[in-house]
Amino acid sequence: MNEKVLTSQALDKKLEQINHDQKRTTRVLVVGAQNSGKQTLMKQLRVFYDGSLLDFDLLKLRNKQDITQNMRSLVALMLNKGYLLPTDLVQQLFTDQSTCPKHILLQLSADPQIKLFMEQNSIPQNAKHSIVNASRLLMMEQHDPFDLNDYLNSNIPLYTVKFNLNKNNYVFINNGSNLSYKWAELFRDVSGIVFVLDICTCFQRDSDGKSQVLTQLQEFDQTINQEYFKNSPIILLLNKFDQIDGLIKKYQFADFFPTYRGGNNQDEICAYVKERFEGLNRQPLKRKVFSFATSLNQAQVVQKLIEVITMVLQKEELRKIGFK
Ligand SMILES: Nc1nc2c(ncn2[C@@H]2O[C@H](COP(=O)(O)OP(=O)(O)OP(=O)(O)O)[C@@H](O)[C@H]2O)c(=O)[nH]1
């Protein structure tokens, strides 16, 4: 067999693999109003399932470890040669931790004795370079190695997250708060739609004095009942549920929903909101709406939620092809 035929066969195989992988990828579209929590969900997915952020962070951490090591070698050399450095800084540099706290490294790298030592002694260029750059590198780091809350509150936009869970590939796509009809066409029969609702909007009024959640009900209706999504299961997240206790203490839910006859408590309010949204599904026999009260800013909640969502989606896929 000549080389060309072999290459072409290899390409065919690769294409087949790509097609196969794409078919096996569960695509999930994340929609919802501004500020509802879509980005928060995406970021949590990125941190716990995708892994690329953690790799990036480990890199930052490694840099910090290198700086600590270099600083330790330099300071040991200086002390041997009789240079004097602040004792408390030196002690903290040599504690057992693999990385020394940033503020100690910064103070040491700015110490005039260190500068003097480097001028008076011939130390390897790369070691010199590493110390001179240490302060720049450390200054550039805005955060300590990794702080989930800092990351969740950052303005770094995130539009897709891919991951593999229980041997299935998933891609979550955040479309922002604008679901134009043209755009929706690209997601025809997507494997699932996650609609994020900020539950606090139930207790907020728009300029007409009506609860803002009424606009969300309309959005939900228009989105899920589009022709393109008529087979896609819907996952409704009543998000920011951690806020509901505070809101109930301040307001009467019935003041916002005159037809509401339930009590002013979490369970009954939650059941009512779920019912209002789920009742808008015009294809109840073809696909379902699964609703959950969530707090997407809490890591443990998101991890449990993703297990449930992925399970629901896999079950729905099986149901569509005839398994009960
Ligand atoms: N208390 C509370 N705050 C939350 C929760 N989820 C998200 N937030 C906060 O709500 C704000 C908006 O969240 P985002 O995830 O940026 O909302 P978004 O839907 O992506 O907003 P846009 O990008 O404007 O469409 C942020 O300050 C989040 O930290 C939650 O469960 N509880």
pLDDT digits (tens, 9 = 90+) for 22-70: 557 888 999 999 999 998 998 888 777 776 555 445 455 556 667 777 7
**Same structural domain, 28 and 78:** no
Give the mean model confidence (pLDDT) for residues 226-240. Answer: 93
Which runs of E-coded beta strand occur in 3-135?
25-32
242 carries a ligand binding annotation: yes
The domain total for the chain is 2
Domain that holds residue 234: 3-36+177-320
Q: Which of 140, 163, 194 marks a domain boundary?
A: 140
Better-scored residue on pLDDT, 15 or 247: 247
Residue 168 lies in a domain: no
**Same structural domain, 199 and 277:** yes
- For the chain, what is the mean pLDDT? 80
CATH number for the domain that contains residue 190? 3.40.50.300
**Same structural domain, 72 and 198:** no
Better-scored residue on pLDDT, 289 or 168: 289
To 10 degrees, what angle do helices 112-120 and 125-140 make? Answer: 150
With CA atoms as reference, report the closest residue to 26 among 282, 289, 235, 299.
235
Confidence band (pLDDT; 50, 70, 90) for 164? confident
Q: Which of 85, 111, 140 marks a domain boundary?
A: 140
Ligand 1: which residue has its CA nearest to atom 29? 153
Q: What is the DSSP letter of 228?
A: G
- The complex's ipTM works out to 0.98
Residue 26 lies in a domain: yes
**Same structural domain, 293 and 252:** yes
Ligand 1 pocket, CB under 6 A: 32, 34-40, 152-153, 176-177, 239-240, 242-243, 295-297
d(CA 76, CA 225): 70
Q: What is the pLDDT of residue 142?
A: 46
**Same structural domain, 189 and 313:** yes
Distance 297 CA to ligand 1 centre (A): 8
**Low-confidence winner among 108-117, 148-157, 182-191 (lowest mean pLDDT):** 148-157
d(CA 178, CA 80): 65
d(CA 111, CA 85): 8
Residues in the chain: 324
Q: What is the pLDDT of residue 109?
A: 80
Residue 155 lies in a domain: no
Give the mean model confidence (pLDDT) for residues 151-168. Answer: 73
pLDDT digits (tens, 9 = 90+) for 189-223: 889 999 999 999 999 998 888 889 999 999 999 99
d(CA 270, CA 283): 23
**Same structural domain, 14 and 62:** no
257 carries a ligand binding annotation: no
Give the mean model confidence (pLDDT) for residues 126-153. Answer: 57
Better-scored residue on pLDDT, 78 or 157: 78
**Same structural domain, 200 and 269:** yes
Residue 189 identity (one-letter amino acid)? D
Q: What is the pLDDT of residue 143?
A: 43
Residue 152 lies in a domain: no
Residue 216 lies in a domain: yes
239 carries a ligand binding annotation: yes
Residue 204 lies in a domain: yes
Residue 128 identity (one-letter amino acid)? K
Select from 173, 297, 300 the residue to mutate for testing ligand 1; criterion: most ligand atoms less than 8 Å from CB.
297
**Same structural domain, 69 and 218:** no
Share of the chain above pLDDT 90, in %: 32
240 carries a ligand binding annotation: yes
Residue 219 lies in a domain: yes
- Residue 19, CA distances (Å) to 22, 232, 318 in order: 5, 21, 20
**Low-confidence winner among 95-109, 239-253, 271-285 (lowest mean pLDDT):** 95-109
**Same structural domain, 299 and 264:** yes
Give the mean model confidence (pLDDT) for residues 129-134. Answer: 61
Q: Please check the confidence at residue 284 and state whether its pLDDT lies above 60.
A: yes
**Same structural domain, 20 and 118:** no
**Low-confidence winner among 2-11, 76-85, 251-260, 277-286 (lowest mean pLDDT):** 2-11
Contact 35, 179 (CB under 8 A): no
Q: Please check the confidence at residue 18 and state whether its pLDDT lies above 60.
A: no
Residue identified by tokens 């290198």 is 66
